[in-house]
Structure 1
Amino acid sequence: MSVQETQEPAGHFGDVDPVTFEVLRNTFEYACNRMTTIMQKTAFSPILADVLDFSNAVYDPDLRLLSQAANCPVHLAAMQYSADAAVKKYPIKDMKPGDIFALNDPYQGGTHTNDITFIMPIYLDGELLGFAVSRGHWMDFGGGAAGGMSFSTHVAAEGLRIPPIKAFENYQVKDDFLAILLNNTRTPFFVEGDLQAHLGALKAAEQEMQRAAARYGIETVKAAMRELIGYTERIIRKSIEEIPDGIYTASDVADTDGFQIEPVTVKVTLIVKGSEILVDFEGSDPVCKGSINSPYANTASAAFYSLQFFLAPHAPSNWGMFAPITLNIPEGTWLNPEWPAPVIGCTTLTSSKITSAIWQALAQAIPDRVTGSTCSECNWFVGSTKDEFGNANVFSDLPAGGWGGTPYSDGMSVTMDPLGNCMNMPAESAELLFPIEYEAFELRPDSAGAGKFRGGLGAVFKVRFLYEGDMNMETSRTREGSPGVGGGERSAVQRTTHLYPDGRKVVIGGTDDDGNWVSPLLSEHPFGKEEVFMFESTGGGGWGNPHERPVEKVLDDVIDGYVSLEKARESYGVAIDPATMTVDEVATAKLRAA
């Protein structure tokens, strides 16, 4: 059942007393959090165990989201569509305890092929209680390059595409399913461990839901589910009513799809009326030739989580969040493509541009609540290399950037984009598992957008190859940085550079010192022994007029190395004597007056 379909109206059901309701609400949340703990502690691949690129949720018997852990926002709403696809093929009436269904097909509720989703029904005494759903980004499903990052023109080049399939029976993985996975990955040594991690997470949710139903009764638990969803919907509708009715339009761009020179545009119109919002993507660019197209589920998920940041982030996360929001995602656009359009960059590149466009539109409606755009990138890379014994390795990371300035404070530095609550790979883990060295991960001066409240800073990230290998990467923001709001400036542009042992520096993504721009979408770019991959991420956009930033704060930023003397003068109108590191008050007054 789709989140866009109308179901019973929200309201007080009166079947559960407040104390029991609160206990069960927390039980549903705890079930998801326990799933997350098990995933992190038992997964074999570092992209799951260290980077935490996974999500977990439970659904009610009608397949409506009931609760979710604070995992990857870009996964969470999209998982609904995967569950819908599984149930469409395998009717609920035919399911049995221990059945687990899997899929990663971008055109059947998935996002990109790396994200595989597992759906398991939960029963007590033969009665359906709901569903546990777990999604994880797996390191590699084959394809034309490590991680599927071939940046080809056909989705087949991005790796194994799994339609809804029964992957487990009686909690046991089916041999044929496992054999297909092992035959279609560069990292078979992670597969069985990661499968068991997902199974453990699903069974944890099953245990908690069964325990609650056994204690309080199935009907009481189901009544609490209904009331919880209605409770959230009432909160969301009240929040929407606080936004002035109106039509708010904004846009953002991806630098390239890897084939065309022109940027690719997201256009969004928010129509706020009473307690409802229409999110309309009419006017967005057509389907791309390259691999940044966004399947419907991914675009819908990006729209939902982008709005929740400024609607009611304190509300319980469930289907009630979606009920007041209607989507129009025109077919034939890069935000709603059809097979066989390639999609590998959809979660990491495209969803972040959707968020930026929606936040810019919201800034017109509620300027005192919306922040400047974040780095608006995941900066996902997948490298491959061989060790001294010739063993192949695949490693991956997500070098973060800054968040935008807020109406109250500077933005956060080096923080994962809103699309995910992922972590950077710890250098210790990376160097233990792979023949590489993390040479640097440090704040990048002048990367933040200037403002009354500046954006957070990006980072300078370096990886040294100890043996020959190659690098695949998805990124953007190399033409212009992330926008600010209310007079705040854009952040710096991003750049990827190949460093050679002899001192040469070659820009392989973005603009070099001579003004030459090259596509930042890398596929199998070769690196030799002792050569270094360097990435410079951007910060967030600024909030408010930079000349309204207190002079003392600008001076502090210069002393701390966040802002250069030149940037302080050009953007903030603050002249600082480099010899004494004090403010030239006369020159500053003239600059700010001008």
Structure 2
Amino acid sequence: MAASNPTQNAATGISDRIDPVTFEVLRNSFEYACTRMATIMQRTSFSPILADILDFSNAIYDAEANLLAQAANCPVHLAAMKFSADAALKRFPKETLKPGDIVALNDPYQGGTHINDITFVMPIFHETTLIGFAVSRGHWMDLGGGAAGGMSFSTHIAAEGLRLPPIKLYENYEINEDFLAIIMNNTRTPFYIKGDLQAHLGALKAAEAEVTRAADRYGRDLVQLAMKELIAYTERIVRKSIEIIPDGVYEAEDFADTDGFSPDPIKVKVKLTIEGSNITVDFTGSDPIVKGSINSPYANTASAALYSLQFFLAPHAPSNAGMFAPIKLIIPEGTWLNPVWPAPTIGCTTLTSSKITSAIWQALAQAIPERVTGSTCSECNWFVSTAVDRAKGIAGVFSDLPAGGWGGTPFNDGMNVTMDPLGNCMNMAAETAELFFPIEYESFDLRQDSAGPGKYRGGLGAVFKVRYRCEGELNMETSRTRQGSPGVNGGGFSAVQRSSHLYPDGSHQVIGGLSPNGDWTSPLLSGHAFNYDEQFLFESTGGGGWGKPSERPVDKVLDDVLDEYISIDAARRDYGVVIDPATMKVNEAETARLRKLQP
């Protein structure tokens, strides 16, 4: 009886069958397994989007496919990978799996998100007993479809590329050559495939080695007990953090600019209900399925909701299934946040998840205004372009994620040019891009006046410019081109984003967003042609402000002007601070007068 109903340590809540030191050692060994997976992925993958941008995620699960630990990779992947693991086990029940079996899938309607994100699920056995799963997900550069990267912005998911249901891609660690041939025949970048597959395989085998080594050293029973206790431990931490938030109902909305077909914004509506140590996240009232490619499958919407909350619940807690136990999700089927086949989904992880985060953070600002930040740039700004140098016979596909700013916080200004929370990815290094492709990165500068004003202003966005030394076709998803990201607690909106085509004669064309005359063009681009020596210019937005701009100290506004973060005009318009352009000193009398007029 003592073995099946162990007592708990009063201080930790952990079973007395495992001492606190061993518990911590095993917890760290699980986390180390994931970190080692990530290191192997970065160092051995072939495609720049994995090796340089780090658009991948790795995690381990227990024998019941409950998240046990994860590396600090892409948040939008991490919570969603559970749904892929479940889909893999539905197709291949765990009782049928053997060592070295690896199931691969990317179907958005079977646990996936968008087609480019491929998930690999491998069982981990200790001797003959299944004790867990290793899961690795990577964003692959291209899997066919009507445009590079699958960004055809069509009305049917078939146009986005090769859609894999759960398939047993490996048996006994050996790849199925027929499946491999199908995958390589359905991509513009076959030269990356084998290298990236081996990187995923190496990551999975590293997790297997670490988990089985722990079982060898501490015993399988103790390791499995530690897995169970670790998830329960995190749940207790998260529940205590929820109990601090005042009970109540908090609602907010955010919008995507367009689905590429309708001129109307697409709405995310969220209602957070907090009761004791539980949170219900209800998306009832969000818009129906849309025609364009920004629909978000259930796994993606759930992942966005879960990671968005964890920023302000218990980010210090070990990352596992216990984080999600207190959270109930209501995502009505038939909305763009829970579509049905054949709705296209290519923009779901990059565009839609960031709007879900912004809406949730705005709702939380009503409950815990002293803790929440202004919205980030709330965009991934993902673009994929062909690069074809016909004279040299070079053809490739390159991609990047020009970042924007984060929102102001209750304590300081937002971070400049930082990847949106959905990704935790890197920008493509200019040296890498120019080495691989016939292009030149000409600028990646801070963008003046891009941040939302506030007592603590948002971080700045960027001015990104690339020159084609070849022919190319640009495909891009972005938003925030009608209105920037919102602030909280009186903070202002950031600037709008804009995409432009620059020509050698000095002329330019706005190809996404607002033109100088006020005309607006959809920012969802597919197959936009560039010729030799033409340039693509993207202006990203900053984050929303925190608190009233009139409460920002005058000396900080002056510093921002001197640093060229904001202009003299913006200092006067947004902050009521008047600066003499000749002396660069504050006109104190006029500033005092204007600040009295500000709310």
Task: Output the amino acid matched with 2:313.
Answer: L
Task: Output the amino acid matched with 1:288.
Answer: V
Aligned to 1:178: 180
Alpha-carbon distance between aligned partners in 2 of 1:14 and 1:285, rounded to the nearest angstrom: 50
Q: What root-mean-square deviation, in Å, do the aligned CA atoms of Structure 1 and Structure 2 show?
A: 0.9
CA contact under 8 A between 1:108 and 1:163: conserved in structure 2? yes
Query: Alignment partner for residue 542 of structure 1, among 541, 545, 550?
Result: 545
Query: Alignment partner for residue 261 of structure 1, among 260, 263, 266?
Result: 263
Query: Alignment partner for residue 36 of structure 1, among 35, 38, 58?
Result: 38
Query: Alignment partner for residue 571 of structure 1, among 565, 571, 574?
Result: 574
Query: Alignment partner for residue 54 of structure 1, among 25, 32, 56?
Result: 56
- Deviation string 1:367-415 (CA, Å, 9 cap, x unpaired) is 0000000000000000101123233110000000000000000000000
Aligned to 2:26: 24
SS of corresponding position for 1:147: helix
Aligned to 2:276: 274
> Does 2:332 align with 1:312?
no
> Does 2:421 align with 1:412?
no
SS of corresponding position for 2:270: strand
Aligned to 1:502: 505
Aligned to 1:285: 287
Task: Output the amino acid matched with 1:129.
Answer: I
Shift of 1:293: 0.2
Aligned to 2:486: 483
Aligned to 1:5: none
Alpha-carbon distance between aligned partners in 2 of 1:451 and 1:35, rounded to the nearest angstrom: 41
> Does 2:588 align with 1:588?
no
Shifted more, 379-388 versus 513-522: the winner is 379-388
> Does 2:477 align with 1:474?
yes
Alpha-carbon distance between aligned partners in 2 of 1:129 and 1:198, rounded to the nearest angstrom: 20
Alpha-carbon distance between aligned partners in 1 of 2:474 and 2:316, rounded to the nearest angstrom: 40
Task: Output the amino acid matched with 1:358.
Answer: I
Aligned to 1:3: none
Query: Alignment partner for residue 428 of structure 2, among 418, 425, 428?
Result: 425
Q: How does 1:358-397 map to 2 (within 5 A)?
A: 358-387=360-389, 388-397=391-400
Query: Alignment partner for residue 457 of structure 1, among 444, 457, 460?
Result: 460
Aligned to 1:81: 83
Alpha-carbon distance between aligned partners in 1 of 2:244 and 2:324, rounded to the nearest angstrom: 17
> Does 2:210 align with 1:242?
no
- Deviation string 1:547-570 (CA, Å, 9 cap, x unpaired) is 100000000000000000000000
Q: How does 1:89-238 map to 2 (within 5 A)?
A: 89-238=91-240
125 and 37 in structure 1: CA distance in 2 versus 1, 3 angstrom threshold: same
- Deviation string 1:78-97 (CA, Å, 9 cap, x unpaired) is 00000000000101011000
- Deviation string 1:352-380 (CA, Å, 9 cap, x unpaired) is 00000000000000000000000000000
SS of corresponding position for 2:249: strand
Alpha-carbon distance between aligned partners in 2 of 1:279 and 1:587, rounded to the nearest angstrom: 48
Alpha-carbon distance between aligned partners in 2 of 1:434 and 1:172, rounded to the nearest angstrom: 33
Alpha-carbon distance between aligned partners in 2 of 1:573 and 1:227, rounded to the nearest angstrom: 55
> Does 2:401 align with 1:398?
yes
Alpha-carbon distance between aligned partners in 2 of 1:378 and 1:593, rounded to the nearest angstrom: 39
Query: Alignment partner for residue 558 of structure 1, among 557, 561, 571?
Result: 561
CA contact under 8 A between 1:13 and 1:226: conserved in structure 2? no
CA contact under 8 A between 1:240 and 1:276: conserved in structure 2? yes
TM (norm. structure 1) is 0.98
Shift of 1:468: 1.0
Alpha-carbon distance between aligned partners in 2 of 1:100 and 1:213, rounded to the nearest angstrom: 21
Alpha-carbon distance between aligned partners in 2 of 1:450 and 1:74, rounded to the nearest angstrom: 28
Alpha-carbon distance between aligned partners in 2 of 1:96 and 1:467, rounded to the nearest angstrom: 49
Alpha-carbon distance between aligned partners in 1 of 2:574 and 2:564, rounded to the nearest angstrom: 16
Alpha-carbon distance between aligned partners in 2 of 1:215 and 1:88, rounded to the nearest angstrom: 32
CA contact under 8 A between 1:404 and 1:410: conserved in structure 2? yes
Aligned to 1:6: none
- Deviation string 1:531-562 (CA, Å, 9 cap, x unpaired) is 00000000000000001000000000000000
Alpha-carbon distance between aligned partners in 1 of 2:266 and 2:164, rounded to the nearest angstrom: 28
TM (norm. structure 2) is 0.97
Shifted more, 385-394 versus 545-554: the winner is 385-394
Shift of 1:512: 0.4
Aligned to 1:341: 343
Alpha-carbon distance between aligned partners in 2 of 1:411 and 1:579, rounded to the nearest angstrom: 29
Shift of 1:15: 2.1
Aligned to 1:12: 14
Shift of 1:46: 0.2
Shift of 1:11: 6.0
Alpha-carbon distance between aligned partners in 1 of 2:309 and 2:58, rounded to the nearest angstrom: 20
Number of residues paired by the alignment? 586
CA contact under 8 A between 1:229 and 1:318: conserved in structure 2? yes
Identity of aligned residues (%): 74
Shifted more, 351-360 versus 120-129: the winner is 120-129
Q: Which runs of 5+ in 2 are unaligned?
A: 1-7
Alpha-carbon distance between aligned partners in 2 of 1:496 and 1:539, rounded to the nearest angstrom: 15
Aligned to 2:535: 532
Alpha-carbon distance between aligned partners in 2 of 1:376 and 1:558, rounded to the nearest angstrom: 25
CA contact under 8 A between 1:78 and 1:111: conserved in structure 2? yes
Task: Output the amino acid matched with 2:421.
Answer: P
Alpha-carbon distance between aligned partners in 2 of 1:142 and 1:125, rounded to the nearest angstrom: 41
Alpha-carbon distance between aligned partners in 2 of 1:15 and 1:463, rounded to the nearest angstrom: 60
Task: Output the amino acid matched with 1:383.
Answer: S
Q: Which runs of 5+ in 1 are unaligned?
A: 1-8
Task: Output the amino acid matched with 1:505.
Answer: H
